[in-house]
Structure 1
């Protein structure tokens, strides 16, 4: 066992996070948590994970569920393609693997939404396979401890980090869960992006970046992605019973697969659409605009609200409303809604 892995395993067992609800040898529980934790903090996932397990206690239960039910439970976690891939992968496990998760990393990588690092985590935690992860936290630890300096967007540099990560694994399979969790814990709680706790780091005496005074410099930062401001107009229509008109969003794009009020990038298209419900511009009231931040977009949302004059909209423009329906106030919780829309409707 390398000095690095020996120290890490010992530190994790004594000081790491050992009471997380998904710390299990059950591959379904591990896989579910790993997908949820992609680009999402542990504190956030802790609120969603038990609800998913309660609703879908097995991978077969998840595979059998309607997609809308899965998206509804996912609402608020963001990156909704993860939820759609989660559902597809559950079906793959049920259909292709007989409801039993494959044990090897390469087989796990065939599941929708599962890349190399996620597959390695499932292999290590559930099956104690000698497979290494390489997420953002791990890259930061390796770049600092071993003074790895390179462009994070460079594929050759990433391959170098993979080779380094593979060389550091413990020799005993039994140590893989603690080692893998230790990598995650060290990056998340000690070797943090800003203000790392170097004084309490188990690698302090071997950290090359610390010795060279380069902790703040490494790893090199990615070029900041430009945040685009996108105007978005909501057509919030209710019928005489107070139900709101919802449509299912396309699978790709903002809030893919969720139910939402009709959305438009310009008000002129919104007004034309409202007329198909018998609502003209003077029958719409404009609510206060507000912003909602996505990863690389800032949505500037303007809701326009009105009372529909018909139970069914006109389909003169090719039946664009065929997937829409009126949803009563007390049934909104049964639909997967974008978080900002759920909050908006709750206040009106």
Structure 2
């Protein structure tokens, strides 16, 4: 049985990587059927128990646009916060920030776009107007002691505009950071990026004065490039990687955005490379198997599918031994 990979460290990689788990928010937001509140709360608890220390829990977007997350306030009230675990919440505007502050949220995120078309489709305003909208959100959040992250979507390609110039991504990313955001997550929303593109983009950010310590990466696996793109980012010094348990998720505003990078697939690669994460792979696989049952469909993660069989076989053998 192979329940973990052989550890063969590689040069040029960080010793430790922080996984920014987005399953409860980005993973579930595009589910066609509303997931029960108790399932969402249990998912968050299971993720924390598996060792994940950053779990993006929900979003305060208007329920009209993302009905799946209409229970944001109820979920945050139900989640039992574990010491040492951060529970970020996406806030689209000042009203969303007000709700987050009322509930004692300590970490928030804003969601910008590298392209005009997606900004208008997702935020119903131009890139410039969205930056203006975010400015008071970031300022007030920081005044209240909150950590603020910025997402930048469509960094590698846009389904309406096509390839996105690297200098355009850097320019709009810098604008979000200049508002006062502590971290910028670079999103390959439709999964078209390739390793050389990742390297070039990160080099361009470095030349613009933004080092890898301020960046995270968020890859979708539409074309099977998420892991290799992540490896390129790690070699460039990035140490924060977004991933979704079981590989669930997408983007409700971009039909070609399929599943996120599966947290388990990422963990398998990092374990084999000798990169520490503090996350228990077995526990997380069990969580994604459970979640797949709740969603009524198999997990897209290849590691979950492979290890689920191994763990089931192991449990069967243990049961026979007990008899």
TM-score, scaled relative to structure 1? 0.24
Q: Higher relative contact order at CA 8 Å, sep ≥6: structure 1 or structure 2?
A: 2
Larger Rg: 1
TM-score, scaled relative to structure 2? 0.26
